[in-house]
């Protein structure tokens, strides 16, 4: 049986696909950025509140937490400034792990932590490179804008095939060793088919926004609200968004400032993804700690 979240993701995706036929490419990009700037940014805006919840009665002060978090963001920004190819590589791998962890948390778990992380990372990277495969020109242009390195179509295709082979091997292994996986394999293949259609039909930003919002951010928001307040409700959702508002506003102001400072260079897409990467690194660590604490409580 599909979960309510999965049903929501699929229905929302097909609604977005239906809207695609009525929207020009420029409108898709505009709406895609609105979705990313709203739910996408908000889902990572309460990291400090999550850290306070995770730490419990730990003596670490709030401002120490804030300083550490900001330091990680600044280090990521510096990395993009001085070693952009390494920063981009880390961003793709870390994002892949984060997407895979969110999707598979509680669905499949190994006694071997390294194998769990490998599976999460491989699945998330497959999703990313599936997207890249359908939008190679845009991806290559964005990569060049950030790193100054020209990637080729054949490189992206080769990496996609390698990741796909590894994922297929892990799927076969899970199918032969896990009854839970056997029950869910049909649904999981359906999800991949739906994402393939989405990535093929929409442009890069629109396709990414559909996945990022409906398949990742909103499910993550649900998990965070449960972790912070015990259950998902209208009151708890309001409390979450109220806490997140100031951090969301700071992020939006930061993006707007970057845009007006650098718009003449016509590299807003590159700057945007660099900014997204900078706030992604600490967010991934926080969410991993959240899931780890939840799993310990249920053992």
Q: What is the pLDDT of residue 1?
A: 44
Per-residue pLDDT of the chain (299 residues), as tens digits, is 457 787 888 899 889 888 888 888 888 888 998 998 888 888 888 888 888 888 775 656 667 777 888 888 888 878 877 888 898 899 999 999 999 999 998 776 666 788 889 999 999 999 999 999 999 999 998 888 788 888 889 999 999 999 999 999 999 998 998 888 888 899 999 999 999 999 999 899 999 999 999 999 999 999 999 999 999 999 999 999 998 898 888 878 877 776 776 655 555 656 666 677 778 888 898 898 898 887 766 55
Of 136, 127, 129, 131, residue with least CA distance to 192: 127
**pLDDT given for residue 37 in this prediction:** 86
Residue 7's Cβ-count burial label (10 Å; 0-12, 13-18, 19+) is exposed
Q: Where in the chain are the domains?
A: 4-11+20-109+179-290
198 within 8 A of 22, measured Cβ to Cβ: no
Q: How far apart are CA 267 and CA 111, in angstroms?
A: 44
Stated pTM of the model: 0.90
Cα–Cα distance between 256 and 262 in angstroms, integer?
10
**pLDDT of 87:** 87
Contact 101, 121 (CB under 8 A): no
CA angle 39, 284, 135 (to 5 degrees): 65
Instruction: Return the CA Rg of the chain.
Output: 19
Question: What are 128's two structure tokens?
Answer: 């990313």
Token duo for residue 69: 């978090």
CB contact at 8 A, 68 and 100 = no
Say which residue the tokens 């799927």 belong to: 171
Query: Which helix (H) or strand (E) element contains residue 213?
Result: none
Q: Answer for the pair 167, 122: CB distance below 8 angstroms, yes or no.
A: yes
């Amino acid at each position: 049986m599909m979960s309510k979240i999965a049903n929501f993701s699929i229905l929302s995706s097909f609604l977005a696909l239906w809207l695609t036929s009525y929207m020009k490419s420029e409108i898709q990009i505009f709406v895609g950025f609105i979705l990313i700037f709203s739910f996408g940014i908000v889902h990572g805006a309460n990291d400090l509140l999550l850290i306070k919840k995770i730490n419990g009665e730990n003596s670490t002060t709030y401002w120490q937490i804030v300083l550490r978090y900001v330091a990680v963001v600044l280090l990521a920004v510096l990395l993009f400034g001085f070693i952009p190819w390494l920063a981009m590589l880390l961003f793709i791998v870390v994002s892949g792990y984060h997407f895979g962890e969110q999707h598979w948390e509680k669905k499949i778990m190994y006694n071997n932590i390294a194998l769990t992380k490998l599976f999460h990372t491989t699945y998330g990277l497959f999703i990313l490179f599936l997207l890249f495969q359908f939008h190679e020109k845009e991806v290559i242009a964005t990569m060049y804008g950030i790193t100054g390195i020209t990637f080729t179509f054949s490189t992206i295709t080769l990496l996609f095939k390698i990741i796909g082979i590894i994922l297929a091997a892990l799927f076969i292994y899970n199918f032969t060793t896990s009854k839970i996986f056997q029950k869910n394999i049909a649904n999981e293949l359906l999800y991949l088919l739906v994402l393939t259609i989405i990535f093929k039909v929409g442009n890069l930003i629109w396709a990414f926004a559909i996945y990022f919002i409906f398949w990742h951010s909103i499910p993550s928001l649900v998990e965070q609200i449960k972790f912070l307040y015990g259950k998902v409700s209208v009151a708890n959702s309001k409390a979450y968004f109220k806490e997140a508002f100031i951090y969301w506003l700071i992020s939006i102001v930061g993006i707007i400032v970057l845009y007006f400072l650098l718009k003449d260079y016509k590299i807003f897409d590159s700057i945007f993804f660099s900014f997204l990467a900078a706030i992604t690194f600490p967010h991934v660590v926080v969410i991993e700690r959240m899931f780890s604490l939840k799993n310990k409580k249920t053992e």
